[in-house]
């Protein structure tokens, strides 16, 4: 308790006396104990530390009465340590490598003075971890450049190597973008560059999304990447999972640099499995860098030394490695012939004529099946019934590459990244050392890309977007100040922004397609969407110049380190200004969706989205009309933290601390923001609860009185505790526990903003349970709505509305704990075995929509679809919610089911955008065997045995965007317990290995070291490899035929009736030509899903697909050239054995197989397969 009281007093004093000081450090430390040859501790030894890169003395101290010493707050670099005490020989230890956030243990043994007064000792810091309970893993700088690293849709990204660490899983492939760290959230980790978070403004993303994908850092830009996977110190937070850390390269006392080119070409690749030709490919990653001392007047002198580093890289792309397979209307379907539209058992899926819709005399409705021009040919639409307005889209489509109804088109070439492709990247850093006590450095990273008009389909019907402008900045400033040998300070400031304008690739073809009457504008062709996985035609992003977004983030943090006796106290603060500036002209031309309903019947697996399209029968259409087209999202965050590392003798060290952080709810700068108020009286709904509220106080009776709907929550106290105990000189036992809060997430990349009333997103949907079209394209977009501005509390009646729960600022958090044993097997070899657990609480979720019906009401059957007519007061014993209700329902039908809802005035499910009611648990056994780079070899083997169970959204961006075919958001809120399941990317076994071997031949090596010819031919060879294995992902199954009103907010999930017969083929020998993977007879029939949504599992733990395995190999030849230069030639082979796996990303629950029981392609492979063998060649000239 005294220790906690001291920490609290220090924190209060720090806030009062240093209000301008803020907190987080990426620096490392060197500690140890000085003894004599008998093992007795030696106090009062003078120790001096020198940075070898800059040849500068960076610290001096003396050993304490216990012989212990410490140098804290050290910039990652190589150091030389000097120890002097009268009566003993001087000891010099060069080459101590301090890595990111590391604690290097370097014990020193002094010998009595003799003839030799100076002894140089080879640096060999302990391979054991002394970071208490923290689980930390990294790739050292000398290894970073040697491992094979593929550049794919962008330049080489050093963060890729984070996937080699224990506790890091990537679902069905080894893509770092999909990383989940120790059971945390996908896309929910934290990333820092030079000690500052890479949070992307209002986008609710950072972590691996930033450092791997959006702001990639190559090994020529950063010197090291490290991952703190669990139980990190109080200075780290904003995540329930891991911290991915990188530090930029810097210059030194000698000039160094490189010229390089990495090249990929389809001539070097294997052919993709299942394809009849290679995918065209050409990619280049080229650049140059230079670093060294800046010995110019004003930057260099007796007290000032300045160093610089600059790297410039380019990335150019054509084509890709993996040919996709997509679905487009077959040639027969384009002419009205749907005899190829059959279920997986070969039965015809009937299509019905919406023009014949009529009551069936039994309380329902019926239609006539299309029977061709002769009246005798089922599923054929006469050509004169095809709506002329759709012909332009049909004529623009290519011819399918096979005769199937689905998965029938393989484009001639894949398209590369349409956003960041062809970018140029720049990084610069300047370091200034002022005496021994002051070190500054500033760095910048910049990216810029041109517009690219690329598409899988012909450009006129392309659904891709391009970006122009497209540029980014990441700027950093760091200042280290040594006040005394025991008081240090580290200040960091950062700015990150991305400026991008999105436009539709097909915007130049607006004149080639009919203009739908009544839409808001004609800046792009209309967007056409289909159910059943048919490819979308067109895009509704609008034109780039009116659709520009920036996401600036300003961060300042500072940490003070105070060493007193056996205590090292750290106190810090951080402030974040989180912003988004959005300009939009999207969806002016409208988005029109076509599904089965308009050409189907209730209770029957029927209808076709393409048939509905041919008739122009729209299932759902929406257009946005703007009065205000700009949004300025704003958020702020504060962090305070304090911690103490208490060394209790030479065997036990305790770490304890406390962190408090606060993220404000997001607001709109000018209060142009509206949202659902569940308690406010709705004047247009008879005063019943639930209205549209406008932020602030400036909108009269419609005002909410606050800038956001949530109540601010200040309870983010996060204690941390860790310990390390040395059982002996070769074995440590470590343990840790802590609470870790993350940021306030707003899924959807919009900052949680809605401007209903300032704009009007008008939606019209099908009625009569989905079988009556919303309207027909040739009739134009209906006009029974009001144009904005509409500042009224009842404005969204009969439409959807944004909902942010009042308690949603109570942020997600996790308990993390671990018990770890480290064993030194050799001076350069260590084994780590750990049990690591995580318990997630209040996680982002989509499990409790407010507007949902009790499943007990399914007993009403088809009466739920019956609709109120204007003036009716009751129907089937159900009272009309209020007078005029039926007339208001323009976005959905005024059905009995709608009238029974808690908030019948709204068509949406009122799923909280930032709802956080999910929970998770993760247990794992983790092992790591690592050999430090020495003697020309390096090795790392990581293994994780784990299980992750969750009820929330596995990816922070999923939120309430989940649909009936997704892994989340598919269970009735009245059955929340059914949400608990293993995660969609659960991989029980993950094995990673990385090895580097330098052949011991040539100059400076063990063999043939005296021959120039032997050195030229045989010297300088290196071989490195990476291997990764992960077990198979679980499947989940749904039924697209689901005769359950949407108001129940539940998807139809078929139960497995015979688990032993689920597979129609053995996954171990699957052949797509032999039929579907799944046996539909092992499941409930889709015909059962009439007012019943099944009791299957959200995710099937025991039904798994295909494991992932991959090996990459790098062969490197270094040739010494005159003038201390080197030519490096690299050949890197990815997927060395050309293995193929039927796998796909686990990020959003996607699959390589159709898992819709009602689909014609149930169990059919959709063409997704792992990349074939790729070969990358490179040349580097280094000096």
pLDDT band for position 39 (cuts 50, 70, 90): confident
Q: Is the pLDDT of residue 429 over 90?
A: yes
Q: Is the pLDDT of residue 10 over 70?
A: no
Of all residues in the chain, the percent with pLDDT exceeding 70 is 96
Of all residues in the chain, the percent with pLDDT exceeding 90 is 73
Q: What pLDDT, on a 0 to 100 scale, did the predictor assign at position 17?
A: 34
Query: Which of 9-18, 752-761, 839-848, 998-1007 has the lowest average pLDDT?
Result: 9-18
Dihedral sign, CA of 115, 118, 121, 125?
A: positive
Q: What pLDDT, on a 0 to 100 scale, did the predictor assign at position 953?
A: 78
By the 8 A CB rule, do 896 and 876 touch? yes
By the 8 A CB rule, do 958 and 1146 touch? no
Dihedral sign, CA of 114, 116, 117, 121?
A: negative
Number of structural domains found in the chain: 2
Residue 35 CB contacts under 8 Å (≥ 6 apart), including other chains: 41, 42, 67, 107, 108, 109, 110
The two tokens of residue 466 are 């391009």
Q: Span 761-775, mean pLDDT?
A: 95
Length in residues, the chain: 1183
Helix (H) or strand (E) holding 208: helix 207-208
Alpha carbon distances (Å) from 1129 to 59, 158, 1004, 1125: 40, 19, 20, 14
| Secondary structure (DSSP) of 1007-1074 | BSTT-HHHHHHHTTEEEEEEEEEEPPPEE--B-S--BS-GGG-----PPBS-GGG-BSS-GGG--GGG
Residue 446 CB contacts under 8 Å (≥ 6 apart), including other chains: 425, 426, 427, 471, 472, 473, 474
Residue 699 to residue 674: CA distance in whole angstroms: 11
Q: Is the pLDDT of residue 957 over 80?
A: no
Q: What pLDDT, on a 0 to 100 scale, did the predictor assign at position 1144?
A: 62
Dihedral sign, CA of 613, 616, 621, 623?
A: positive
Any domain includes 1123: yes
Q: What pLDDT, on a 0 to 100 scale, did the predictor assign at position 1?
A: 41
The two tokens of residue 810 are 């109570």
3-state secondary structure 850-879: CCCCCHHHHHHHHHHHCECCCCCCEECCEE
Q: Span 36-62, mean pLDDT?
A: 89
Residue 971's SS3 state is coil
pLDDT band for position 117 (cuts 50, 70, 90): confident
Q: Domain of residue 104: give its range.
A: 22-125
Terminal-to-terminal C-alpha distance of the chain: 57
By the 8 A CB rule, do 323 and 411 touch? yes
Any domain includes 433: no
Q: Is the pLDDT of residue 963 over 70?
A: no
Residue 181 to residue 165: CA distance in whole angstroms: 9
Q: What pLDDT, on a 0 to 100 scale, did the predictor assign at position 1150?
A: 61
* pTM, rounded to two decimals: 0.90
Q: CB 697: neighbour CB atoms within 10 A? A: 12
Any domain includes 160: no
- Residue 160: name the closest of 197, 220, 226, 212 by CA: 212
Any domain includes 598: no
Please write the tens of the pLDDT for every residue from 65-111. 888 898 888 888 889 999 999 888 899 998 888 887 778 888 898 98
Please write the tens of the pLDDT for every residue from 969-992. 899 999 999 999 999 899 999 999
Please write the tens of the pLDDT for every residue from 691-722. 999 999 999 999 999 999 999 999 999 999 99
Strand partners, 71: 30
pLDDT band for position 934 (cuts 50, 70, 90): confident
Q: Which of 125, 151, 177 lies at the terminal end of a domain, its last residue?
A: 125
Q: Is the pLDDT of residue 440 over 50?
A: yes
Q: Is the pLDDT of residue 1096 over 90?
A: yes
Q: Is the pLDDT of residue 169 over 80?
A: yes
Q: Is the pLDDT of residue 329 over 80?
A: yes
pLDDT band for position 610 (cuts 50, 70, 90): very high
Q: What pLDDT, on a 0 to 100 scale, did the predictor assign at position 245?
A: 92
pLDDT band for position 59 (cuts 50, 70, 90): confident
Q: Span 591-598, mean pLDDT?
A: 97
Query: Of 12-26, 90-104, 187-201, 1013-1027, which one has max mean pLDDT?
Result: 187-201
Please write the tens of the pLDDT for every residue from 824-855. 999 889 999 999 999 999 999 999 999 999 99
Any domain includes 1093: yes
Q: What pLDDT, on a 0 to 100 scale, did the predictor assign at position 898?
A: 98
Helix (H) or strand (E) holding 135: strand 135-139
Using only C-alpha atoms, the chain has a radius of gyration, in whole angstroms, of: 32
Q: Is the pLDDT of residue 884 over 70?
A: yes
Residue 673 to residue 802: CA distance in whole angstroms: 10
Residue 800 to residue 764: CA distance in whole angstroms: 11
Q: Span 190-195, mean pLDDT?
A: 94
By the 8 A CB rule, do 571 and 23 touch? yes
Q: Span 1122-1145, mean pLDDT?
A: 90
Please write the tens of the pLDDT for every residue from 639-652. 999 999 999 988 99
Q: What pLDDT, on a 0 to 100 scale, did the predictor assign at position 166?
A: 94
Q: Is the pLDDT of residue 1170 over 50?
A: yes
Place of tokens 């965007």: 961
Alpha carbon distances (Å) from 235 to 27, 485, 642, 656: 12, 21, 8, 12
Q: What pLDDT, on a 0 to 100 scale, did the predictor assign at position 25?
A: 60
By the 8 A CB rule, do 47 and 63 touch? yes
Any domain includes 87: yes
| Secondary structure (DSSP) of 622-680 | EEEEES--EEEEEEEEEEEEEEEEEEETTTEEEEEEEEEEEEPPPEETTS--EEEEEEE
Q: What pLDDT, on a 0 to 100 scale, did the predictor assign at position 131?
A: 61
Residue 228 to residue 736: CA distance in whole angstroms: 13
Alpha carbon distances (Å) from 1032 to 174, 648, 986, 1082, 1099: 13, 46, 8, 21, 13
Question: Residue 817: how many CA atoms within 13 Å on its side-chain side?
Answer: 6
Q: CB 471: neighbour CB atoms within 10 A? A: 16
Q: Which of 106, 125, 144 lies at the terminal end of a domain, its last residue?
A: 125
Q: What pLDDT, on a 0 to 100 scale, did the predictor assign at position 693?
A: 98
Query: Which of 73-87, 461-475, 513-527 has the lowest average pLDDT?
Result: 73-87
Alpha carbon distances (Å) from 870 to 763, 879, 886, 1031, 1061: 20, 13, 6, 58, 52
- Residue 737: name the closest of 638, 814, 829 by CA: 814
Please write the tens of the pLDDT for every residue from 270-323. 999 988 889 899 999 999 999 999 998 888 988 899 999 999 999 999 988 888
Q: Is the pLDDT of residue 154 over 70?
A: yes
Residue 135 to residue 166: CA distance in whole angstroms: 9
Q: Which of 125, 150, 178 lies at the terminal end of a domain, its last residue?
A: 125
Q: Is the pLDDT of residue 152 over 60?
A: yes
Dihedrals phi, psi of 1133, to nearest 5 degrees: -115, 125
Q: What is the mean pLDDT of the chain?
A: 91
Any domain includes 1128: yes
Q: What pLDDT, on a 0 to 100 scale, did the predictor assign at position 130?
A: 67
Any domain includes 1031: yes
Instruction: Supply the CATH number for residue 99's domain.
Output: 2.60.40.1120
Q: Is the pLDDT of residue 727 over 80?
A: yes
pLDDT band for position 452 (cuts 50, 70, 90): very high
More confident residue, 1007 or 807: 807
Please write the tens of the pLDDT for every residue from 14-31. 333 333 333 456 778 888
Q: What pLDDT, on a 0 to 100 scale, did the predictor assign at position 418?
A: 83
Task: Examine residue 19 and say whether the peptide bond preceding it is cis (omega within 30 degrees of 0).
Answer: no
pLDDT band for position 780 (cuts 50, 70, 90): very high
Please write the tens of the pLDDT for every residue from 383-401. 999 999 999 999 999 999 9
């Amino acid at each position: 308790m005294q220790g906690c009281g001291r920490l609290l007093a220090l924190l209060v004093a720090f806030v009062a006396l240093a209000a301008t000081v803020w907190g987080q450090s990426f620096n490392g430390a060197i500690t140890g104990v000085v003894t004599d040859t008998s093992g007795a501790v030696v106090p009062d030894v003078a120790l001096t530390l020198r940075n070898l890169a800059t040849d500068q003395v960076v610290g001096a101290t003396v050993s304490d009465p216990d012989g212990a010493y410490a140098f804290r707050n050290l910039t990652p670099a190589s150091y030389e340590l000097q120890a002097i005490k009268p009566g003993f020989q001087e000891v010099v230890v060069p080459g101590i490598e301090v890595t990111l956030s590391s604690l290097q243990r370097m014990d020193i043994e002094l010998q009595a003075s003799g003839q030799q007064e100076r002894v140089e000792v080879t640096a060999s810091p302990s391979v054991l971890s002394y970071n208490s309970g923290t689980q930390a893993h990294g790739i050292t700088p000398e290894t970073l450049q040697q491992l094979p690293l593929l550049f794919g849709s962008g330049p080489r990204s050093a963060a890729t190597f984070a996937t080699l660490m224990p506790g890091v899983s990537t679902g069905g492939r080894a893509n770092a973008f999909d990383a989940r760290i120790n059971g945390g959230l996908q896309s929910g980790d934290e990333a820092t560059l030079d000690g500052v978070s890479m949070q992307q403004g209002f986008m609710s993303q950072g972590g691996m999304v930033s450092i791997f994908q959006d702001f990639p850092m190559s090994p020529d830009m950063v010197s090291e990447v490290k991952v703190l996977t669990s139980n990190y110190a109080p200075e780290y937070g904003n995540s329930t999972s891991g911290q991915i850390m990188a530090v930029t390269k810097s210059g030194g006392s000698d000039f160094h640099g490189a010229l390089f080119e990495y090249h990929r070409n389809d001539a070097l690749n294997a052919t993709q499995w299942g394809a009849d030709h290679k995918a065209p490919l050409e990619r280049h990653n080229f650049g140059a860098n230079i670093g060294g001392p800046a010995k110019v007047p004003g930057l260099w002198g007796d007290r000032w030394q300045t160093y610089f580093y600059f790297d410039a890289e380019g990335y150019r792309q054509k084509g890709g490695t993996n040919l996709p397979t997509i679905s487009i209307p077959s040639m027969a379907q384009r002419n009205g012939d749907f005899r190829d539209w059959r279920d997986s058992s070969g039965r015809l899926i009937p299509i019905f004529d919406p023009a014949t819709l009529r009551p069936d005399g039994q309380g329902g409705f019926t239609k006539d099946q299309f029977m061709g021009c002769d009246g005798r040919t089922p599923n054929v639409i006469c050509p004169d019934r095809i709506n002329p307005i759709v012909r332009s889209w049909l004529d623009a489509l290519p011819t399918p590459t096979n005769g199937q109804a689905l998965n029938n088109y393989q484009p001639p070439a894949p398209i590369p990244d349409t956003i960041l492709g062809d970018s140029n990247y720049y990084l610069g850093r300047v370091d200034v050392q002022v005496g021994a006590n002051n070190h500054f450095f500033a760095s910048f990273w910049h990216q810029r890309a041109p517009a690219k008009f690329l598409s899988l389909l012909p450009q006129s019907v392309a659904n891709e977007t391009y970006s122009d402008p497209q540029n980014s900045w990441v700027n950093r400033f760091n200042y280290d100040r040594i006040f005394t040998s025991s008081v240090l300070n580290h200040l960091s400031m950062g700015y990150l922004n991305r400026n991008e304008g999105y436009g539709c690739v097909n915007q130049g073809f607006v004149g080639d397609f009919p203009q739908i009457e009544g839409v808001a504008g004609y800046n792009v062709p209309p967007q056409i969407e289909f159910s059943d996985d048919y490819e979308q035609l067109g895009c509704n992003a609008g034109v780039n110049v009116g659709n520009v977004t920036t996401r600036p983030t300003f961060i300042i943090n500072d940490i003070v380190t105070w060493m007193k006796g056996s205590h090292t106290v750290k106190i810090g603060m951080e402030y974040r200004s989180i912003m988004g500036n959005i300009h939009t002209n999207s969806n002016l031309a409208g988005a029109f969706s076509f599904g089965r309903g308009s050409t189907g019947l209730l209770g029957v697996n029927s209808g076709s989205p393409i048939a509905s399209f041919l008739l122009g029968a729209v299932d759902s259409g929406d257009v946005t009309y703007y009065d205000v087209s700009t949004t300025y999202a704003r958020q702020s965050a504060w962090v305070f933290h304090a911690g103490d590392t208490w060394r209790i003798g030479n065997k036990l060290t305790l770490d304890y601390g406390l962190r408090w952080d606060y993220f404000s709810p997001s607001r709109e700068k000018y209060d142009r923001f509206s949202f659902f108020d569940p308690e406010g009286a709705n004047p247009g709904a008879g005063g019943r609860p639930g209205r549209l509220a406008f932020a602030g106080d400036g909108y009269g009776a419609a005002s909410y009185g606050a800038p956001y709907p949530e109540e601010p929550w200040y309870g983010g106290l996060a204690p941390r505790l860790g310990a390390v105990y040395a059982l002996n000189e070769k074995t440590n036992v470590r343990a840790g526990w802590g609470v870790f809060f993350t940021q306030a997430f707003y899924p959807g990349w919009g900052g949680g903003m809605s401007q209903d009333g300032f704009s009007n997103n008008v939606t019209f949907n099908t009625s009569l349970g989905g079988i009556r079209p919303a309207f027909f394209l040739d009739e134009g977009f209906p006009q029974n709505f009001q144009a904005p501005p509409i500042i009224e509390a009842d404005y969204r009646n009969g439409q959807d509305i944004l909902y942010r729960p009042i308690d949603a600022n109570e942020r997600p958090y996790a308990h993390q704990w671990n018990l770890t044993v480290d064993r030194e097997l050799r001076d350069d070899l260590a084994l780590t075995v750990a049990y690591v657990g995580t318990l997630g609480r209040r996680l982002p979720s989509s499990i409790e929509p407010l507007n949902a019906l009790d499943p007990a009401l399914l007993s009403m059957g088809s009466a739920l679809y019956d609709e109120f007519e204007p003036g009716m007061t009751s129907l089937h014993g159900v009272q009309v919610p209020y007078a005029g209700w039926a007339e208001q329902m323009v976005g959905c039908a005024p059905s009995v089911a709608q009238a029974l809802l808690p908030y019948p005035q709204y068509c949406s499910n009122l799923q909280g955008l930032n709802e956080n009611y999910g929970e998770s648990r993760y247990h794992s056994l983790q092992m790591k065997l690592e050999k430090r780079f020495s003697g020309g070899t390096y090795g790392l083997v990581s293994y994780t045995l784990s299980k992750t169970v969750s009820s929330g959204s596995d990816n922070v961006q999923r939120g309430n965007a989940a649909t009936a075919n997704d892994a989340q958001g598919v269970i009735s809120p009245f059955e929340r317990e059914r949400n608990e399941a293993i995660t969609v990317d659960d991989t029980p076994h993950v094995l990673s290995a990385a090895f580097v071997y330098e052949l011991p031949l040539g100059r400076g090596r063990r063999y043939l070291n005296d021959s120039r010819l032997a050195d030229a031919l045989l010297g300088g060879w290196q071989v490195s490899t990476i291997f990764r294995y992960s077990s198979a992902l679980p499947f989940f199954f749904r039924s697209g035929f689901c005769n359950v009103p949407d108001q129940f907010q539940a998807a139809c999930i078929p139960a497995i009736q015979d688990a032993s017969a689920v597979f129609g083929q053995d996954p171990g020998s699957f052949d797509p030509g032999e039929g579907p993977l799944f046996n539909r007879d092992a499941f409930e029939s889709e015909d059962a899903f009439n007012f019943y949504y099944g009791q299957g599992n959200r995710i099937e733990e025991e039904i798994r697909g295909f494991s992932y395995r991959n090996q990459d190999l790098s062969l490197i030849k270094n040739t010494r050239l005159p003038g201390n230069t080197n030519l490096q030639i690299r050949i890197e082979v990815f997927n060395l054995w050309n293995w193929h796996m039927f796998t796909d990303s686990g990020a959003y629950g996607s699959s390589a197989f159709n898992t819709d029981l009602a689909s014609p392609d149930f169990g059919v492979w959709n063409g997704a397969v792992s990349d074939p063998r790729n070969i990358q060649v490179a040349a580097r000239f280094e000096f």
